[in-house]
Amino acid sequence: MDVLMLSRLQFAAATFFHFLFVPLTLGLSLLTAIMETRYVISGDQDYKRMAKFWGKLFLINFAVGVVTGITLEFQFGTNWSRYSQYVGDIFGSLLAVEATLAFFLESTFIAVWVFGWNKLSPKLHATAIWLVAIASNLSAYWILAANSFMQHPVGYVLRNGRAELDDFLAIVTQKWAVLEFVHTLSGAYILAAFFVMGVSAWHLLRNSEVGFFKKSFKLAAAWALVFSVFAAINGDLSGKEVAEKQPTKLAAMEGLWETTKAAPMYLLLWPDQKNARNSVQALPIPGALSFLAFGDFNAEVKGLKDFPVKDRPPVLPTYLGFRLMVGLGALFILVAIWAFLKRKDPQSSPKLLKLLPWLIPLPYLALEAGWLVAEVGRQPWIVWGMMRTADAVSPVAVSQVATTLVAFILIYGLLGAAAFWLIFRNARKGPAPVKAN
Amino acid sequence: MLETIWFVLWGVLWAVYFMLDGFDLGLGALMPALAKSEQDKRVIYNAMGPFWDGNEVWLITAGGVTFAAFPGTYAVMFSSLYSALMLLLFALILRGVAFEFRGKVDSPAWKSIWDACLWLGSFLPALLLGVAFANIFMGIPIDQKGVYQGSLFTLLNPYGLLGGILFVLIFMTHGSLWLAIKASGELEARAQVMAKKIWPALLVVAVVFLAATWFYTRLWANYLSYLWLWILPLMAVAGLLLSRVFMAQNAWWKAWGASAVMIVGCTLFGVAGLYPNLLPSSLNPAWSMTVTNSSSSPLTLKIMLGVALVMVPIVLAYQTWAYVTFRHKITDQDLAYEEAY
């Protein structure tokens, strides 16, 4: 394998792993903040214990998210130096803003929150977790604005042999960035909600801490419903944005080779990239693809054959990732409706309680699949239409990247195992018993 | 002009990072020597507890600012130092999770794994940052295309290694002083003795490093042209000497402050000597990465300057508040605290 392929694998491994921890951080920080606020307002000790219990799981998860995020920032320089040089004027500044605006706030106040239960007034303490939650979610905006620039570059001018900043606001406020932000956040909140519901269900099934977990469940069920519906609506808008701005990605998502009017969506499909066709293609829904992409059953959808072979993304992973994400998204809505209906007395439905813990991994899978579509579907471009991934890689030795790739897999593998084991263990243990005093 | 302002800010960010994270890296590296019991270890973890994460963000920001203000340098520097940087990152990963994971399982074996990670994750970054910066001061073999013509071992030259040892000793002094502030009883006494023991070694290495800098680098050129720059090395020397004076007076906060001044002085001494280079080429001075040939566009530099001028004071304000809130000595009550490390 060459440096390019190894670097891509390494970056994929590092980002996928990082993103196993990011969504729960985004969602659970907010849920914890809401719980603590309820405690401060009502004085209900259960909510304080909830903030502590879910906060503890949040912290284990947060630690891994933070340390794996640092490596990502540096990997643009180590592995993608030509990319960094070419778009650093824009991309670098977004990362730097993210650090000064969000990371400092997040990292400083998480420590204040952890160590400050007895040192700060309840209101100030609750403010600390709100700052953490806001900062985490804010940092997501900046990194997603940076990613949006890679997906749909705007606000730049090509000058001095590189892309230079022309309109900062255009980059930060472009529609793509807003859609990507809302979609990613909805996904993260779904994940956090299913996490809380799953853990709560496990305890409710065993009649442990019933009051505590009923309250947690109720809050999470509402979140799951709101955001799974929201993600679907936003996903539809995002799909139309992709259809307009990244036609090759859309065609790969749907395995569409020939440009077609009133394009159907095939329920069963298996793409064959080598021969530029689908080896399996059955059960069409007439006009569905045209409608989803352009809001018109008769619209023309561009097929991959309209684009040179060298401009086509890998079709199979893009297609499978998309199907997986959408399928799971639909499942989340159904389960969320069920959970929402039972939110006041979840124990009345043991079936639901038995199912929910098993569903915890699914939002993780859906979110990673979503990123697979976004990033693999963007290939062969690192910055859409501007720079190819192949031109972006660092002039480093194969042996260097091969060594670090192995090290990444080993260290991240062990780290991930330790982190999920700790989360699992602490989730099962349940909240600390009420102190008798 | 904008480039020069950013060059100064770049140096200041690194200086603040070394000043802050320096004490917790040094303390982590010294833990095996200082801690005799589980209780001692927990005091050490909790002495760093509320601070280490916020400190590390200065590294992220220094990296981010290199990317934003000098993308050319970021690209060449980070790809040239590939292996060293990756080692640094792996070490910091293990260190970061060690804090969070260690106390979550009540088993000596589990704890000793994370203690080892903390040690390695503190010692190795201290060493590597020193090696890296000494090499940056001296220049590394980059060709006219910015491609590095060396390996990890090229960096392990005598001057680079000397820089590594210097950083380790500086951080260890800084860390023992911090523990002298935060611990009490026997551990406090041990930290005080440790700081006093390391100090002479630090003095010797610092003198040797300064002398070697004359022979190995071109940092002095700026000092011969601009006499006012001498305030920076003088700051470093004054900080170094004063820290020992304050140690003798048992004024540990002041000693730590003097050590912080030394670190800032040292870093800025090197950075000011580099100007206008950010990364000199040892092959041909014309191939160096400089403030002019590697900087971002004026518009980016302007916007970033606005962000920095507004945000950095705010960050400093709330980080100072956090330090003030948690400045007290670690007590038994702190260790019994439910959320303590």
What are A2-56's pLDDT values in tens digits?
999 999 999 999 999 999 999 999 999 999 999 999 999 999 999 999 999 999 9
Chain A residues closer than 8 Å to B337 by CB: 115, 117-118
For residue A436, pLDDT over 60 is answered with no
Any B CB within 8 A of A93 CB: yes
Is the Cβ–Cβ distance between A301 and A289 less than 8 Å? yes
**CA-wise closest residue to B216 among B291, B280, B143, B168:** B280
**CA-wise closest residue to A156 among A78, A95, A94:** A94
Question: Considering just the CA atoms, what is the radius of gyration of chain B in Å?
Answer: 20
Asked if B303 lies within 8 A of A165 by C-beta distance, the reply is yes
Complex ipTM, two decimals?
0.92
| pTM over the 0.80 mark | yes
Reply yes or no: is the peptide bond before residue A380 cis, omega within 30 of 0.
yes
Is the Cβ–Cβ distance between A366 and A328 less than 8 Å? yes
Give the number of beta-carbon pairs within 8 Å between A and B: 227
**For helices B158-182 and B2-34, angle between their N-to-C axes, nearest 10 degrees:** 70
Neighbours of A68 (CB within 10 A): 26
Percent residues over pLDDT 90 in chain A: 96
Is the Cβ–Cβ distance between A65 and A228 less than 8 Å? no
Any B CB within 8 A of A63 CB: yes
Residue to mutate among B70, B93, B118, B329, with most A CBs inside 10 A, is B93
Chain A residues closer than 8 Å to B145 by CB: 395
Beta bridge partners of A156: A165
- Specify burial of residue A80 (Cβ count, 10 A radius: 0-12, 13-18, 19+): buried
Give B226's contacts (C-beta < 8 A, 6+ positions apart): none
Asked if A63 lies within 8 A of B101 by C-beta distance, the reply is yes
**CA-wise closest residue to B44 among B340, B261, B320, B253:** B340
Asked if B53 lies within 8 A of A89 by C-beta distance, the reply is no
- Domain membership of residue B72 (yes or no) is yes
**CA nearest to A114 within chain B:** B339
Asked if A73 lies within 8 A of B65 by C-beta distance, the reply is no
Asked if B97 lies within 8 A of A78 by C-beta distance, the reply is no
Q: Kindly state the tokens that stand for A11.
A: 């970056």
Burial B238-271 (b: 16+ CB within 10 A, else e): ebbebbbebbeeeebebbbbbbbbbbbbbbbbbb
Is the Cβ–Cβ distance between A412 and A13 less than 8 Å? yes
Give the model's pLDDT for residue A437: 46
Q: How far is the alpha carbon of A310 from chain B, nearest alpha carbon, in Å? A: 27
**CA nearest to B76 within chain A:** A81
- Domain membership of residue B251 (yes or no) is yes
Residue A163 binned pLDDT confidence (cut-offs 50, 70, 90): very high
Is the Cβ–Cβ distance between B126 and B269 less than 8 Å? no
Its domain, for residue B237, covers: 2-336
Point out the residue among A95, A396, A432 whose CB comes nearest to the CB of B68: A95
Any B CB within 8 A of A406 CB: no
Phi-psi region of A246 (alpha: psi -120 to 50; beta: other; left: phi over 0): beta
Say how many residues make up chain A.
Answer: 437
pLDDT, tens only, A200-238? 999 999 999 999 999 999 999 999 999 999 999 999 999
Instruction: Give the residue-averaged pLDDT of A371-387.
Output: 96
For residue A435, pLDDT over 70 is answered with no
Q: How far is the alpha carbon of A425 from chain B, nearest alpha carbon, in Å? A: 9
Chain A residues closer than 8 Å to B300 by CB: 89-90, 93, 164-165
- Domain membership of residue B211 (yes or no) is yes
**CA nearest to B106 within chain A:** A422
- Domain membership of residue B20 (yes or no) is yes
Q: CA torsion B112→B201→B26→A98, rounded to 10°?
A: -150
- Domain membership of residue B341 (yes or no) is no
Q: How far apart are CA A236 and CA A227, in angstroms?
A: 14
- Domain membership of residue B102 (yes or no) is yes
Q: Please, what is the average pLDDT of chain B?
A: 94
Q: Kindly state the tokens that stand for A253.
A: 């998502």
Q: How far is the alpha carbon of B150 from chain A, nearest alpha carbon, in Å? A: 10
Any B CB within 8 A of A425 CB: yes
pLDDT, tens only, A315-334? 999 999 999 999 999 999 99
Give the model's pLDDT for residue A433: 81
Q: How far apart are CA A346 and CA A360, in angstroms?
A: 17
Q: Which of residues 133-192 of A touch B (CB under 8 A)?
A: 159-160, 164-166, 168
- Domain membership of residue B95 (yes or no) is yes
Chain B residues closer than 8 Å to A87 by CB: 71
Residues of chain B with pLDDT under 70: none
Report how many domains make up chain B.
Answer: 1
Any B CB within 8 A of A404 CB: yes
Residue to mutate among A52, A71, A74, with most B CBs inside 10 A, is A74
Distance of CA B146 to the CA centre of its chain: 26
Q: Kindly state the tokens that stand for B82.
A: 């590939």
Point out the residue among A74, A90, A104 whose CB comes nearest to the CB of B315: A104
Asked if B308 lies within 8 A of A100 by C-beta distance, the reply is yes
Q: ∠ CA(A66), CA(A70), CA(A72), 5° rounding?
A: 115
